[in-house]
Amino acid sequence: MSISILWFRRDLRLSDHPALLAAIGSSDEVLPVFVWDPVLIGDGGARVQRLAASLAALSADTGGALVVRTGDPAEVIADLAAEADAREIHVTRESTPYGRRRDQRVRARLERDGRELVETGSPYAVGPGRVRNRTGEPYKVFTPFSRAWHEHGWPRPGERPGEIAWATGHHSADPAGPGSRSTAGRGAARGAVKAVEAGERAALARWRAFLDEDLDGYAEQRDRPDLDTTSRLSVHLKYGEIHPRTILAELAEHPAAGGESARRFVTELAWREFYADILWHWPRSAWRDLRDALAGMAYDEGPEAGELVEAWKQGLTGYPVVDAGMRQLLAEGWMHNRVRMITASFLVKDLHVWWPVGARHFLDHLIDGDIASNNHGWQWVAGTGTDASPWFRVFNPVTQGLRFDPAGEYVRRWVPELAHLPGAAAHEPWRSPDGYRNGYPERIVDHAEERLEALRRYDVARGSEN
């Protein structure tokens, strides 16, 4: 009886799973495997807790057949393949720089034993690298990419297999991961992260609830952190508990498919695919400026800058909407997208700190932290990424708060020191006689002054390039 291995990574589901279908078609039984990679585990925290929850759901969906091991994937997968006498190891094609390097090592290790790593499908509707312009070059600007992405199209979702002959009898481990007790402890030390339902069923339920309840108002309300009417699908997409093809297919059949809200939502999916494509073509852009136009930019470093960065991380900047977002990040492992832009702009343009400092902090805490979307989103704010000329964008944290949290509900939810200030007054405690009575900190910088300083530095950096 032949066995193939399905190595799960960013595809923790059974529906619309091309690699699973390929594994089923190549053998009598399929051994489902997940490897806790020490390189990706880091120091635990919210991401590991969330991933453990997803693995627990996947283990249940496989009837307990999921084998979970820890170590260098090249050695772990090779050992498992030898143990199960599996000739083929099936995976979803990876597109991140680390994932591609890891898979090269795994492939080389397997080939030494006469085994094969088989790549099928990707975590995206259109695999990174496939959308190119008429001359065969990749896109660096979103709008033409989005147009070409739509024209390229994507296949229908694959069917969920009926009966799956899972290989059993192999030693499995606790999906909670290595040192699960210490991992949970480290996460708790960072804050009581809000429990989020995980797994394929939870992802489908969340998507269909959004489709039925919140899609109609998405175009008007998507920038409102106080209303919390976004899809919250980013974490499910990160772990592959739902495939974007499934979302696009069901959305296309919805009565609201032709409306503005549906179009805006698809545009957000296109941004995710665009950033993955950028990272595929320019892997160095994960932690370095994509464009060199601001290579001469002066950034602040040293102890004083470090103190300001720490205030930003803890939500103690004195700017309510910034602090609300940073505290939500620590508490939930998530932050509303509009607030991500506001908090990122504050670090880069009010505190004059290079964007990777903030990108790393976000990835350390976000349960939906995706290196392509996160790091290129930071570059969009910093002016070093895919936009043609974003250098003059400096988000005003006060006006942004007043515009997108007009009644102050979001601020009061996350900054209890300002709970006594009614309505929009929560965004400007310095205007109220008792604004600071509960110990809320005063502003660590003057935004108006720092905006002018940011523009001056940008002008100098751009001038040095010319």
**Per-residue pLDDT tens over the stretch 97-135:** 999 999 999 999 999 999 999 999 999 999 999 999 999
Q: Which residues, other chains included, contact 112 with Cβ-Cβ below 8 Å and sequence gap of 6+? A: 78
Model pLDDT for residues 19-31, shown as the tens digit of each residue: 999 999 999 999 9
* Per-residue pLDDT, 298: 94
* Per-residue pLDDT, 176: 63
Q: Which is nearest to 234 in space by CA: 337, 129, 126, 343?
A: 337
**CA separation, residue 228 to residues 231, 269, 388, 454 (Å):** 9, 18, 31, 31
Model pLDDT for residues 271-301, shown as the tens digit of each residue: 999 999 999 999 999 999 998 888 889 999 9
Q: Distance between CA atoms of 34 and 41, rounded to whole angstroms?
A: 13
* Per-residue pLDDT, 121: 96
Q: Distance between CA atoms of 303 and 86, rounded to whole angstroms?
A: 55
Model pLDDT for residues 147-202, shown as the tens digit of each residue: 999 999 999 999 899 889 999 876 666 666 664 433 332 233 334 445 568 999 99
Domains and CATH numbers, the chain: 3-121 (3.40.50.620), 124-157+199-281 (1.25.40.80), 303-465 (1.10.579.10)
* Per-residue pLDDT, 340: 97
Residue 243 has pLDDT above 80, yes or no: yes
Looking at 164-178, 357-371, 424-438, which range is the least confident one?
Answer: 164-178
- With bands split at pLDDT 50, 70 and 90, how would you rate the model's confidence at 43? low
Residue 217 has pLDDT above 60, yes or no: yes
Q: What global pTM score does this model have? A: 0.92
Q: What percent of the chain has pLDDT over 90?
A: 85
* Per-residue pLDDT, 180: 45
* Per-residue pLDDT, 293: 84
154: left (phi over 0), alpha (psi -120 to 50) or beta: beta
Strand partners, 30: 4, 166
